[in-house]
A and B are shown apart, each in its own frame.
Chain A
Amino acid sequence: MNTANFGLEDILLTSPMIVLFLFSLVPLTIKILRGNVEQVHLATVIEVLIGLLVTATLIVVFGSEGQGGSPTAFGGQLIFDGLTTWSSLIAVVITGASVVLMYENPSTRGPQFSELMFLTMSSLLGALILIASINLIGVFIGLELMSLSLYLMIAMSHEQKISKEAAIKYFVLGSMASAVFLYGVSFIYGTTGSISTVDLMETAQPLIQGHSNLFIFGFALVIIGFCFKVSIAPFHAWTPDVYQGSPTPVTAFMATAVKTASFAAFLRILASKGIGGSDNLLNLLQWLAVITMTVGNVAALVQNNLKRTLAYSSVAHSGYVLMGVIAVGISEGSAYPAASVIYYLMAYSLMTLGAFAVLSLIERNENHFVQTDELAGLAKSHPMLALCFSVFLFSLAGLPPVMGFFGKLYLFSAAINEGLLWMALWGIINSVLSVYFYLRPIVVMYMKEGSCTSSKENYGTTFVVVVLAVLIIVLGVVSGPIFNMVERSLG
């Protein structure tokens, strides 16, 4: 918090956010100028996509190459390092795909589409701020911007009953978690006199080693706040309900872009030097990760609602990612485990989004909740769709040679590298558990007779599904260069 002395460089660095903000106003503005009359949805979507494209381009152009330190903007409020670049990129790309889903899903298209688009983009903006912030209050602002937009996005569903319930649950619990988080921040401030994570890195070590209870208390609360956001058990209870109640494209967005952003910020906090000194904290996190994987997988095992299954699967994957995050923490922020976390997030986002996209295609109307058994016959009526869905599911289950496998490979190998063999073992056992429920939709699709169909006109979503499937295979097979790029930019 030195003198507010910023110039063009700051503007350039933050240009993705600024541009995104400006673009987010476009659909709303047009709607207002048209006298509160919705314009053609396609036009809105195209505007949004252009905005996202520009944002993505700017992220790439002004993003960090990783060499020679990471630039910060606005007096050290926002940092633009490899982590920011990659996580932002994933979030933006995922949002683009989610927007296409929203355009075609029955529960999201309709008279309030422009508003939805605005909210989506603000949420993304929040995510970008969350990712880039190295100031806890910045993190909080990003988090809230992201979450508040989401609450509304959920509540705006055309499905009237359970989406409202989901929104209210998410809102109450989310706000409470924000308060907890903030309470933690206040204690960190109280013990270190600063809320910058850069300062935190410097000051944390002596405090933790000196067993400063207040600091640890605050720090733990901050971590709990994050755990809530990324749905780590036992703070995950909202996840299945909210994911199920939200319109599928919004769920997809929530489960991928939002989670990626939250994890990126989580990573930044935990990567602080000196966390490694706190055995208690890291041990506890390990347990949380293991519990999360297990809870997510066993609960998914007994689900029949496809969306809920995927929600629990998302919980389980949080556990895997947390394992990587812990590895980052132990290694005190070295690039390799961080890169494996990023790669895993990338893989996870693509395959989860893909799965939700398929789900979105199958939903007939906003009140239709797809049960796994309903998929019967999909392989006959839509072989390509079934094949792509299988790719997503196999990838989620971690079968080679697709992204999910390499993600797990890198993640586990990072964990083993940091001596977390037992966690890797748990992860492995869990991935066997998960195979069972990931296989179930495939069983139903291919091996049971039925008449499942999808609406044919959803070209955009279909396109997204196919592209994602191809990406998952290609980025899996050529995962080496990708991983190298990520690691280089982080190191």
Chain B
Amino acid sequence: MSHQLLVAVLILSPLIGFLLNGVRFKHTNYIAAGAIATTAVFISFICSVLLFLDLVNAPENQRTIAVGFYEWFSVDKFSINAGFVVDQISSIMILIITGVGSLIHLFSIGYMHHDKGVTKYFAYLNLFVFNMLLLVLGDSLLTMFVGWEGVGLCSYLLIGFWFNDAAKAAAGMKAFITNRIGDAAFIIGMFILFFTFGTLNIHELNALAPTTMEASWLGAVTLGTLMLFIGATGKSAQIPLYVWLPDAMAGPTPVSALIHAATMVTAGVYMIVRLNPLFVMAPNTMMVIAVIGAATAVMAATIGLTQYDIKKVLAYSTVSQLGYMFLAVGVGAFGAGMFHLMTHAFFKALMFLGSGSVIHGMHEEQDIRKMGGLKKYMPITHITFVMGWLAIIGTPPFSGFFSKDEILWQAYSSPRGHVLLWVAGAIGAGLTAFYMTRLMALTFWGTSRVDKHVHPHESGSLMTIPLIVLAVLSVIGGWIGIPHVIGESLGHIPNYWEHWLSPLIAKMPEVAAAGEHAAHSAVEEWLLMGASVSIAGISVLTACLMYLKNTDAPKKVSDAFGPVYKAVYNKYFVDEFYFASLINPLIKGSRNLWYYVDVNVIDKATYKTTDLVRGGGSFVRSLQNGNMQQYALYVIAGAAITLSLVLMR
């Protein structure tokens, strides 16, 4: 098959699925809807695999498949094609999207079977996959932006899927608008790059990237990339625009798995990796990214410590993990960022689906205080969840270990890294281990606090199969990117991942200058690895102690930290702060604006003018008082004035 056709099928298959389900959205036959949707994504997956294999088989320097369909629009020098490119980076992404996507679709059939809007649900899900594919395959920033906004739209629709609940509809709206703030910056970023380089084509941009670093904060590349990064903070839920993601848990749980864990939220990372030659030349931007990433990682993790909603915990975990990815790309470890993106997609999708399975089994109960001891009711869910847990806390040799460790190492060792970034990362890792263990302990282990009316049960095989597949991936997914130090000691296992991506990853000028082997030794790497693993281990133990053995402890701790705990529990009051400082004043201000400007100034000015004219009219009328002698007086007076004026020289 020609690549063009393959790409077309890849992209259009979910769209067709969307249309097929969309036109019959009122049907409630979940099997038919699910079959159509899953097949559509699965066809895409097959195409992705075929394309990937083609890439693998191609010579190393020709691993790019670019296809163009038509010129989308062109004005003057600005011309955008509906063109797509499959290369080392995007091929990984499409595999994740369609692969994990297929699994989640499959899971959804079971999860959503009782929902009346199931057909609509699958239509949206397909539409999302379509847009996500556009995002990752687009050969220019603008085509990427199409998908970028498209996934935002789908996210909006899916978060607000149960729109009869005002809070859920509001969550969707919040997601879209917050994203829009980022998108606005993204647009500006595109403009800056376009007027600097004259193109928005990603490959051309990368090729045109300057060869020296830009030191100024106001340089075009720095500003442009900074703007794009603000766009990314919106989509990938980083400080300060992360607020929408926890609320986004209002959507059906598989949606959270697909959109808000595995794919869409990583788009920001993906975008930065795509444009890494540009970002590399803007060290200031990189610094901002790294700092924001690290801060997000820690902050979200602290909030995760206190949450009781199973999905909220996972949501903050996602925010935190995304922070890691940004930390990685911020220090120039683009490969590591992508790597963590992939492993995170596996284990976070797994955990979300697992939580979905729990919620499903618990009859829509999400509060972990009302769970506990579920492992005996839901063995498969439990086992798979444990795999995910092990992966996320970075237990060797689970996938999360490799990717997270690579990030922490790079945060320390990269020329753009800093020991404080490592410290932040390590703290984050410890917190992650703690709250994930807490989640496990409260949900699956310990004594049951399940309500008497609720009878937890294991989910059907439609739901457990995806869990199992993802669990396997969570375990082995990291093995393709084993770090050199470990690889060496295990007998020359190459780092396939790094090798695969390396043609597209720009070298940092500092690195290029310093030569291949930096000043950091393998011992350091081993030490740090040990440190982070032990931090995680200690956290796990503490958490086990607190939530399994000494169940009073959490209460004591939270009491001890009273106000701090309260602040953390309430997510640092960020939402409240945004409302109080921005949204409410905006609405109130708009009301005043309307009242003062439209009503009281512009319209009033109009009325005053009319009043003036009417006043003139009334004055003339009052002169016209019916007395003819007065009229005669006007004539005479007029004549007198006329004459005197005329005769005056």
Whether a CB of chain B sits under 8 angstroms from the CB of A476 is no
For the complex, give the distance between the alpha carbons of A172 and B628 in Å: 8
Q: How far is the CB of B630 from chain A (nearest CB, A)?
A: 8
Whether a CB of chain A sits under 8 angstroms from the CB of B570 is no
Whether a CB of chain A sits under 8 angstroms from the CB of B523 is no
Whether B638 and A173, one on each chain, are in contact in the complex, defined by CB atoms closer than 8 angstroms, is: no
For the complex, give the distance between the alpha carbons of A233 and B616 in Å: 14
Whether B616 and A294, one on each chain, are in contact in the complex, defined by CB atoms closer than 8 angstroms, is: yes
Whether a CB of chain A sits under 8 angstroms from the CB of B613 is yes
Residues of B within 8 A of A302 (CB): 614, 617-618, 621
For the complex, give the distance between the alpha carbons of A240 and B639 in Å: 20
Q: A220-B642, A224-B642, A228-B635 are in contact. Are A301 and B617 (CB under 8 A)?
A: yes
Closest to A278 in B: B646
For the complex, give the distance between the alpha carbons of A299 and B635 in Å: 18
Whether a CB of chain B sits under 8 angstroms from the CB of A62 is no
Whether a CB of chain B sits under 8 angstroms from the CB of A238 is yes
Whether B635 and A298, one on each chain, are in contact in the complex, defined by CB atoms closer than 8 angstroms, is: no
| Chain A 279-300 per-residue mask, 1 if CB under 8 angstroms from chain B, else 0 | 0110010001000001100111
Whether A238 and B631, one on each chain, are in contact in the complex, defined by CB atoms closer than 8 angstroms, is: yes
| Chain B 266-288 per-residue mask, 1 if CB under 8 angstroms from chain A, else 0 | 00000000000000000000000
Q: How far is the CB of B645 from chain A (nearest CB, A)?
A: 5
Select which of B613, B621, B626, B647 is within 8 A of A433 by beta carbon.
Answer: B613
Closest to A287 in B: B645
| Chain A 69-89 per-residue mask, 1 if CB under 8 angstroms from chain B, else 0 | 000000000000000000000
Select which of B617, B630, B638, B647 is within 8 A of A298 by beta carbon.
Answer: B617
Interfacial residues of chain A within 442-473, with CB under 8 A of chain B in the complex: none
Whether B614 and A301, one on each chain, are in contact in the complex, defined by CB atoms closer than 8 angstroms, is: yes
Residues of A within 8 A of B643 (CB): 217, 220-221
Select which of B631, B642, B646 is within 8 A of A237 by beta carbon.
Answer: B631
Whether A241 and B620, one on each chain, are in contact in the complex, defined by CB atoms closer than 8 angstroms, is: no
Whether a CB of chain B sits under 8 angstroms from the CB of A180 is yes
Whether B646 and A234, one on each chain, are in contact in the complex, defined by CB atoms closer than 8 angstroms, is: no
| Chain B 601-637 per-residue mask, 1 if CB under 8 angstroms from chain A, else 0 | 0000000000001101110110110101011101101
Q: How far is the CB of A18 from chain B (nearest CB, A)?
A: 35
Residues of A within 8 A of B613 (CB): 298, 301, 433
For the complex, give the distance between the alpha carbons of A221 and B646 in Å: 11
For the complex, give the distance between the alpha carbons of A30 and B57 in Å: 120
Whether A280 and B645, one on each chain, are in contact in the complex, defined by CB atoms closer than 8 angstroms, is: yes
Q: Which of A213, A221, A237 has the most CB of B within 10 A?
A: A237
Whether a CB of chain B sits under 8 angstroms from the CB of A177 is yes
Whether a CB of chain A sits under 8 angstroms from the CB of B492 is no
Select which of A211, A220, A221, A299 is within 8 A of B624 by beta carbon.
Answer: A299
Q: Is the interface of B mostly helix, strand, loop or mixed?
A: helix
For the complex, give the distance between the alpha carbons of A169 and B647 in Å: 30
Whether B638 and A216, one on each chain, are in contact in the complex, defined by CB atoms closer than 8 angstroms, is: no
Whether A173 and B649, one on each chain, are in contact in the complex, defined by CB atoms closer than 8 angstroms, is: no
For the complex, give the distance between the alpha carbons of A180 and B639 in Å: 9
Closest to A241 in B: B626
Residues of A within 8 A of B645 (CB): 280, 284
Whether A234 and B634, one on each chain, are in contact in the complex, defined by CB atoms closer than 8 angstroms, is: yes
For the complex, give the distance between the alpha carbons of A280 and B645 in Å: 7
For the complex, give the distance between the alpha carbons of A433 and B616 in Å: 12
Whether B646 and A280, one on each chain, are in contact in the complex, defined by CB atoms closer than 8 angstroms, is: yes
Closest to A219 in B: B646
Whether a CB of chain B sits under 8 angstroms from the CB of A426 is no
Whether a CB of chain A sits under 8 angstroms from the CB of B648 is yes
Whether B646 and A281, one on each chain, are in contact in the complex, defined by CB atoms closer than 8 angstroms, is: yes
For the complex, give the distance between the alpha carbons of A415 and B178 in Å: 60
Residues of B within 8 A of A280 (CB): 645-649
Whether B646 and A240, one on each chain, are in contact in the complex, defined by CB atoms closer than 8 angstroms, is: no
Whether a CB of chain B sits under 8 angstroms from the CB of A369 is no
Whether a CB of chain B sits under 8 angstroms from the CB of A21 is no
Q: Which of A217, A228, A234, A300 has the most CB of B within 10 A?
A: A234
For the complex, give the distance between the alpha carbons of A298 and B616 in Å: 6
Whether B647 and A299, one on each chain, are in contact in the complex, defined by CB atoms closer than 8 angstroms, is: no
Q: Is the interface of A mostly helix, strand, loop or mixed?
A: helix
Residues of B within 8 A of A221 (CB): 639, 643
Closest to A240 in B: B624
Q: How far is the CB of B11 from chain A (nearest CB, A)?
A: 55
Residues of A within 8 A of B638 (CB): 224, 233-235
For the complex, give the distance between the alpha carbons of A238 and B631 in Å: 7
Whether A295 and B642, one on each chain, are in contact in the complex, defined by CB atoms closer than 8 angstroms, is: no
For the complex, give the distance between the alpha carbons of A278 and B647 in Å: 10
Whether A234 and B647, one on each chain, are in contact in the complex, defined by CB atoms closer than 8 angstroms, is: no
For the complex, give the distance between the alpha carbons of A411 and B617 in Å: 25
Interfacial residues of chain B within 161-175, with CB under 8 A of chain A in the complex: none
Whether a CB of chain B sits under 8 angstroms from the CB of A176 is yes
Residues of A within 8 A of B646 (CB): 216-217, 220, 278, 280-281, 284
| Chain A 298-336 per-residue mask, 1 if CB under 8 angstroms from chain B, else 0 | 111111000000000000000000000000000000000
Q: How far is the CB of B642 from chain A (nearest CB, A)?
A: 6
Residues of A within 8 A of B623 (CB): 237
For the complex, give the distance between the alpha carbons of A298 and B617 in Å: 4
Q: A213-B647, A284-B645 are in contact. Are A172 and B618 (CB under 8 A)?
A: no
Residues of A within 8 A of B620 (CB): 295, 298-299
| Chain A 205-230 per-residue mask, 1 if CB under 8 angstroms from chain B, else 0 | 00000010100110011001000100
| Chain A 153-188 per-residue mask, 1 if CB under 8 angstroms from chain B, else 0 | 000000000000000110011001100100000000
Closest to B633 in A: A237
Whether B635 and A177, one on each chain, are in contact in the complex, defined by CB atoms closer than 8 angstroms, is: yes
Whether A234 and B637, one on each chain, are in contact in the complex, defined by CB atoms closer than 8 angstroms, is: yes
Interfacial residues of chain A within 363-397, with CB under 8 A of chain B in the complex: none
For the complex, give the distance between the alpha carbons of A221 and B638 in Å: 11
Closest to B628 in A: A169
Residues of B within 8 A of A220 (CB): 639, 642-643, 646-647
Residues of A within 8 A of B626 (CB): 241
For the complex, give the distance between the alpha carbons of A237 and B626 in Å: 9
Q: How far is the CB of A329 from chain B (nearest CB, A)?
A: 14
Interfacial residues of chain B within 560-617, with CB under 8 A of chain A in the complex: 613-614, 616-617
Q: How far is the CB of B244 from chain A (nearest CB, A)?
A: 49
Q: How far is the CB of A166 from chain B (nearest CB, A)?
A: 10
Whether A234 and B635, one on each chain, are in contact in the complex, defined by CB atoms closer than 8 angstroms, is: yes
User: Would you mind naming 16 contact pairs between A and B with Cβ atoms under 8 Å apart?
Assistant: A173-B635, A176-B635, A217-B643, A220-B646, A221-B639, A224-B638, A224-B642, A234-B637, A234-B638, A237-B630, A241-B626, A280-B645, A298-B616, A298-B620, A299-B617, A302-B617
Residues of A near any B CB (own CB < 8 A) = 168-169, 172-173, 176-177, 180, 211, 213, 216-217, 220-221, 224, 228, 233-235, 237-238, 240-241, 278, 280-281, 284, 288, 294-295, 298-303, 433
New contact pairs (9) apart from A168-B628, A280-B649, A298-B620, CB-CB < 8 Å: A173-B631, A220-B647, A221-B639, A228-B635, A235-B635, A278-B646, A301-B617, A302-B617, A302-B621
The 10 closest A-B pairs by CB, nearest first: A302-B617, A237-B631, A299-B620, A234-B638, A298-B616, A298-B617, A301-B617, A169-B628, A234-B634, A220-B646
